[in-house]
Amino acid sequence: MKEKPTPQNILFNRREVLSSAMMTTAGIAALSLSTERPAVAAERDHPFHPLEKFKYDLGASQGWSGKGGSAKQVNVDQFPVSKSIAGVSMRVEPGAIRELHWHAIAAEWAYILEGNVRTTVISPDGQADDVYFSVGDVWYFPRGYGHALQCVGPRTCHFLLGFDNGNFSEFGTFSITDWLAVTHPAIAARNLGISVSALAGFPKEEAYIVPGTLPPPVPSEPFRGGSVPTSQSVHKFRMAEVEPHRFPGGTERVVTAAQFPIQTTMSAVLMHLEVGALRELHWHPNADEWFYVAAGCCRVGLFGAHGRHVVDEFRPGQVGFVKQGFGHYIEQLGDEPTQLIILFNSPVYQEISLSKWLAGNPAQLIADNLGVSQTLVDQMPKHWVGIFGAQK
Ligand code: MN
Ligand code: MN
């Protein structure tokens, strides 16, 4: 009996075949191009260096772990190519609190993967919010807004955080306990309206994630109308609830500043790929792409001009980065559908796919460009496909 393919052995077997083939062609192409063609101005931004590593295994990293939860971080220190976006995978125990804090250099975006989370947020105009989030919900806190998170149970929550700055560090943010601990006691006591002696019981350093008291549970009674949509709140967007764009091989749910006005520096796509699907060759004219594999496996091909092309395979918990304008595709792998959470460092989502491009050109021009017959060109897609279904 044939061994059932697991994500691991699929990844291993195909990688062997790919790596030798890719390295040979990429090497030859880079050599011949560098001697035959002078670099034009635009190309000097991307000299003939090998493409930077575009995968980071966030799930397998060490991270921080404490009584109330854990956090794993990826920023430019671990993943140098990702200059515009950083990420954190965080788990918080029921009742525990990621303490009051703010981020000086980045806005915070989140997607809830498991469990229920409550956040409080204060904006500069003094307006406060106290919102509950469940699986599939998104939050966005503009740079510098004060916030806190709490797991509301009944089980551990897990969420993915994205930040619009690759230099962001979760372990270098501005926390209330850190601030009060280093401030002169007379000043801290005066500001809090308490006696200096009462400060003795405060944390002596940054608390970060602390155990806490379970708040009331998430209201779970749905509207009688079942699918009646509730209005979106300022900091919360129910991403999993929006009507997806449907393609032959999967779906995309897109959230930009158009749907979620506070999200002014980023946009996101929740991509579902059916078994055997292919997110076709495409690029994003206006933004870098940072993606996290939430479920299933995939293979990503990255095109960086000058014959530069790399292919790598991704498992759940791994992160990838595609520079603005770089060509790429995503091929679903394995027996389980694949889900990706994709972030862009622009409030506007733009993409151009190969099918869209070919459909938008005269047949003769395409035939001449590729040196093939019009009959062959006629077989090519005549409309935007986006995600191809499994091959018959
Ligand atoms: Mn935060
Ligand atoms: Mn893309």
Amino acid code (one letter) for 47: P
Strand partners, 321: 290
DSSP single-letter state for residue 110: E
Task: Point out the ligand nearest to the CA of residue 119.
Answer: 1
Q: What's the CA angle centered on 213, arms 212 and 214, to 5 degrees?
A: 120
pLDDT at 215: 87
Q: What's the CA angle centered on 102, arms 347 and 108, to 5 degrees?
A: 25
pTM of the model: 0.85
Q: Is the sign of the CA dihedral 319, 343, 166, 171 positive or negative?
A: negative
Instruction: Please list the active-site residues.
Output: 98, 101, 103, 108, 147, 170
Task: Point out the ligand nearest to the CA of residue 161.
Answer: 1
Segment 235-290, tens digit of pLDDT: 999 999 889 999 999 999 999 999 999 999 999 999 999 999 999 999 999 999 99
Distance 282 CA to ligand 1 centre (A): 32
pLDDT at 284: 98
Distance 147 CA to ligand 1 centre (A): 7
Distance 371 CA to ligand 1 centre (A): 54
What's the whole-number mean pLDDT along residues 336-356?
98
Confidence band for 18, pLDDT divided at 50, 70 and 90: very low
Segment 21-61, tens digit of pLDDT: 444 444 434 433 444 444 444 445 555 688 999 999 999 99
pLDDT at 229: 66
Segment 104-144, tens digit of pLDDT: 999 999 999 999 999 999 999 998 999 999 999 999 999 99
CA 132 and chain centroid, separation: 21
Q: What's the CA angle centered on 181, arms 179 and 183, to 5 degrees?
A: 65
CA dihedral 169, 110, 252, 262 (to 10 degrees): -100
Task: Point out the ligand nearest to the CA of residue 162.
Answer: 1
Q: In what order do the strands lie in the sheet with 318-322?
A: 55-57, 318-322, 289-295, 338-344, 267-273, 250-255, 245-247
Closest by alpha carbon to 104, among 59, 57, 142, 154?
142
- Residue 230 and residue 125 in contact, taking contact as beta carbons nearer than 8 Å: no
Residue in the block written with tokens 């005269």? 362
What's the whole-number mean pLDDT along residues 47-76?
93
Judged by average pLDDT, the poorest of 14-23, 71-80, 128-137, 209-218 is 14-23
Distance 42 CA to ligand 1 centre (A): 37
Residue 213 has pLDDT above 70, yes or no: yes
pLDDT at 225: 73
Task: Point out the ligand nearest to the CA of residue 71.
Answer: 1
Distance 207 CA to ligand 1 centre (A): 14
From the CB of residue 390, how many other CB atoms can be counted at a distance below 10 Å? Answer: 12
% of the chain beyond a pLDDT of 90:
80
Neighbours of ion ligand 2 (CB under 5 A): 289
Distance 242 CA to ligand 2 centre (A): 20
Residue 1 has pLDDT above 90, yes or no: no
What's the whole-number mean pLDDT along residues 90-99?
97
Distance 163 CA to ligand 1 centre (A): 9
Q: Which two tokens stand for residue 237?
A: 């967007």
Task: Point out the ligand nearest to the CA of residue 268.
Answer: 2
What's the chain's Rg over C-alpha atoms?
Answer: 24
| H or E segment to which residue 271 belongs | strand 267-273
Confidence band for 12, pLDDT divided at 50, 70 and 90: very low
What's the whole-number mean pLDDT along residues 309-336?
98
Question: Rounded to an integer, what distance in angstroms lies between the CA atom of residue 285 and that of residue 326?
Answer: 9
Distance 211 CA to ligand 1 centre (A): 17
Question: Rounded to an integer, what distance in angstroms lies between the CA atom of residue 272 and that of residue 139?
Answer: 20
% of the chain beyond a pLDDT of 70:
85
Dump the DSSP string for 320-334.
Answer: EEE-TT-EEEEEEES
